[in-house]
Chain A
Amino acid sequence: MMLARVADSLYWIGRYVERAEHNCRLSDVMLNATLDRSEAATQVARIALAAVGDADLAKAQNPYDAARALTLDRQDSASIYSSIAHARENARQVRDQITTETWERLNLIYLRMSDPDAARAFGDGSQQFLHDTIADLHLFKGAGDATMSHGEGWSFLLLGVYLERAQLIGSLLEVVFGDGRRRRPVGDHFALTSVLRMGCALEPYLRVYTADMQPRYILNFLMLDADFPRSIRFCTQEIENHLAAITRHAGLSGAAGPERLAGRLRARLQYIDMEELVAQGPTAFLKTVLDECAAIHDSLYDAFVAYPLESRLPA
């Protein structure tokens, strides 16, 4: 049992920290690309910008500025700064629900991001700055894992993490492999490794597929791998598990809508035929996945957070 508002905040903490981490990685890859050949850098920057939903692809001409804006722009609600600030604001609102150890990690990241010297620190060593932020976000999750009760609140937090992750990876794959792209297909070795880096998947990929960079292997890995924690399939398994835990806590097992949606989505990813998917192009399938993630979010709210009061009044 926990307050609906608290569950809502914990869920959004999860979403925002995941978004911040993902965007850190996109920024990092963009900056990394500036060190190499500029044409590839532009393509990588374009992919990253499109993946965060930035329509202004002209920014891709200057990856450094784009990365800095994505990191520190306080006006942009999609920036890493904003995600961290939102996560911390939510954490402040449920400060009584998260352990001091967990809070301290998140607060530390926020204090560094909001420091007046943050822009200088970013200028002095952009990749170090992003690297530290990602490492601290991992510490935040680790501190939560090690010190918070793995009960209902924890499940709401992780539900936020995995739903957000599934959607972020889904959007990234849509940009890279979808039909919507107007430019030439991504086939360049450098661009492909960059895509894997954006999904923090390069090393795990190499262990499975070796250094053979094939678009269809990458798609397969980021979408359907059963064990890689950033594959969409893995995310949907976690979503299903945490939803089951939440409904169990709520005594609503079998009755709640989101559980059914999550089970269906997980089954889709578990049993899809890869040959068929490649034959018809992944666009339609990715769209279904993203739509169903959104539907799970809505139905989560209907069941646990913004339910109609009339249905819950004592007789």
Chain B
Amino acid sequence: MSVRRDEPPAETTGVARPYDEMRLAAGGVHPHYAALDARLATLTPQELAERQRTQERFFLLQGITFTVYGAESTTERIIPSDILPRIIPGAEWSRVEAGLIQRLRALNMFLADIYSEQQILMDGVVPRELVLNAPSYRREMQNLYVPYKAYANVCGSDLIRQPDGEFAVLEDNLRVPSGVSYMLANREASRRVFPGTFRSAGVRAIDRYPDLLLATLKSMAADWRPNPQVVVLTPGVYNSAYYEHAYLARLMGAPLVEGRDLVIHDNMVYMRTTTGLRRVDVIYRRVDDDFIDPLTFRRDSSLGVAGLFNAYRAGNVMICNAPGTGVADDKAVYAYVPEIIRYYLNEDAILPNIETYLCREPAQLSHVLANLDKFVVKAVGASGGYGMLVGPHSTKAQQEEFAAALRADPANYIAQPTIQLSTAPCLIDGEVEARHVDLRPFILSGEKIVVTPGALTRVALRKGSLVVNSSQGGGSKDTWVLSESKGEPR
């Protein structure tokens, strides 16, 4: 038995030790990890490595890959998937679930408000210019009816576990969140890798996601269209999330369309089929706002359909998520979400935010500039781990570069203290080691809001790294949410 039991990496001084998902500080493991820990103790590193290979093979065969375009050759790679599941006890999940539902309900109400009466802006709860000047704000959406105020039909929020063990929201994702196919594929794979442990653990099922997604999308269709035609709109096979688009379309039984398959006539949307044109009612679009309609948004886009937005305005088709939802996951608006929840729901936020400094405020800017080496600074409009400075891991030169950018355009930046993401055991080169992880659950909202009891756990595979994005060396692993009665301290 030579599995190494490493101490979690503690390279960053002056920051609290990260929470360990499996191990207790006093020794031993959390009760909900006991079964997995016992199973791991019976496996040799060779057996573990063999299982890891089997899993990678599964991903490769399924074509769960992303394409890397190189100078000489184009290769397809799998997104690294770690075989050790991350486990969340039932009671803890209930709280997360309640918090996510509350948050999305409030954000949908916020979107409905800013795209109609703008009461919240008049009451001064959120600064008017912050919302109206956000690049993701779409004035085209003003006064447009959205059923159930369900603007963000699919939301993927990024949660992290703070050193004290509490989950907090790091980021909301209300545009076209991706990753759900990895959640499902990881589950398919991990059931094979640890079948016995899986069976006895009481893991809640996530396989209804496609079915719930379809129901959510159908609930958005107009009442007078009794059997609505739902389609998935993809930018095409060269998009890095193409696998996911095809996967969801296949599991929902909905056609996977590209912009060129759609035709607008008389403000109605049709798809070109072998039997002629067929009316489309709901479009689950995986194309960004900017690209869905060259007539309304970016004119150089060839991914969308000319006239789509007018058909939407006319109420003849539903676009899901609604255009303009990005304003609610704007990194500056994020800071106001607890207020937004209080304003609409008269409740305290169940899931806390990470403390956030808005560089647009001069006092906060100077505090950030004075402590650049301690903060994570993010550009408001960027995503995917780009345009970001991780203070404690940065060089003096990078800090100076960011300081200049901050002074030049302070409103474009926010800063947050460097959070030690929690760590979970991962299989690294045949050894079990701790790596930082986050958590992306998926929330669906249509007629009602549902949270799938599972999530994508993203892993920063590089030792000590806090960046979990797949574009920057991140991987993923399955997330086991246990049923209420399981995995509680006895």
Contacts and interface: CB of A to CB of B under 8 A. Distances in A.
Nearest to A305: B274
B23 to A, nearest CB: 38
B62 A6 contact: no
A296 to B, nearest CB: 16
B53 to A, nearest CB: 15
Interface residues of B, number: 32
A38 interface: no
A35 interface: no
B347 interface: no
B281 to A, nearest CB: 15
Contacts of A108: 61
Contacts of B62: 100, 103-104, 107
B275 A111 contact: no
A184 interface: no
Main secondary structure of the interface of B (DSSP, over half): mixed
Interface in A227-273: 246, 249-252
A111 B75 CA distance: 11
Given A5-B258, A103-B63, A111-B60, A251 B265 contact: no
Given A5-B260, A5-B261, A250 B246 contact: no
Given A1-B278, A2-B274, A95 B255 contact: no
B263 interface: yes
Contacts of A3: 255, 257, 261, 271-274
Contacts of A7: 274
A304 interface: yes
B249 interface: yes
Contact of A107 (B61, B268, B272): B61
Nearest to B263: A309
B125 interface: no
A249 B278 CA distance: 14
Interface string B206-222: 00000000000000000
A65 to B, nearest CB: 23
Contact of A2 (B61, B255, B265, B266): B255
B276 interface: yes
B481 interface: no
Contacts of A5: 258, 260-261, 272
A4 interface: yes
A312 B277 contact: yes
A36 interface: no
Contact of B273 (A4, A96, A100, A107): A4
A3 B232 CA distance: 12
Interface-central residue, B63, B265, B272, B274, by most chain A CB under 10 Å? B274
Contacts of A152: 274
A119 to B, nearest CB: 14
Nearest to B236: A93
> Which of A5, A156, A252 is packed against the most chain B CB atoms within 10 Å?
A5
Contacts of B249: 96
Nearest to B231: A3
B265 A314 contact: yes
A96 B274 contact: no
Contacts of B256: 94-96
Nearest to B275: A250
A22 to B, nearest CB: 25
A63 B331 CA distance: 64
A75 to B, nearest CB: 12
Interface in A298-315: 304-305, 307, 309, 312-314
Contacts of A96: 232, 246-247, 249-250, 255-256
B237 interface: yes
A89 interface: yes
Contacts of B257: 3
Interface string A158-181: 000000000000000000000000
A100 B185 CA distance: 13
- Residue of B256, B270, B271, B278 ringed by the most chain A CB atoms within 10 A: B256
B276 A312 contact: yes
A92 interface: yes
A4 B246 contact: no
Nearest to A152: B274
A1 B275 contact: yes
A109 B278 CA distance: 36
Contacts of B61: 104, 107-108, 111
A251 B255 contact: no
A137 to B, nearest CB: 17
Contacts of A104: 61-62
Interface in A1-27: 1-7
Contacts of B263: 309
A101 to B, nearest CB: 11
B277 A246 contact: no
Query: Which residue of B243, B256, B272 has the most chain A CB atoms within 10 A of its CB atom?
Result: B272
Interface of B: 60-63, 232, 236-237, 242-243, 246-247, 249-250, 255-258, 260-261, 263, 265-266, 268, 270-278
Interface of A: 1-7, 89, 92-97, 100, 103-104, 107-108, 111, 152, 156, 246, 249-252, 304-305, 307, 309, 312-314
Name the 7 nearest CB pairs between A and B, nearest first: A95-B246, A96-B250, A312-B276, A96-B249, A250-B275, A304-B274, A4-B272
Given A104-B61, A312-B277, 7 more contacts: A2-B273, A4-B274, A92-B246, A96-B256, A111-B61, A249-B274, A252-B275
22 contacts: A2-B255, A3-B255, A3-B272, A4-B272, A4-B274, A93-B236, A94-B256, A95-B246, A95-B256, A96-B249, A100-B62, A103-B62, A104-B61, A104-B62, A107-B62, A246-B274, A250-B274, A251-B275, A252-B275, A305-B274, A313-B265, A314-B265
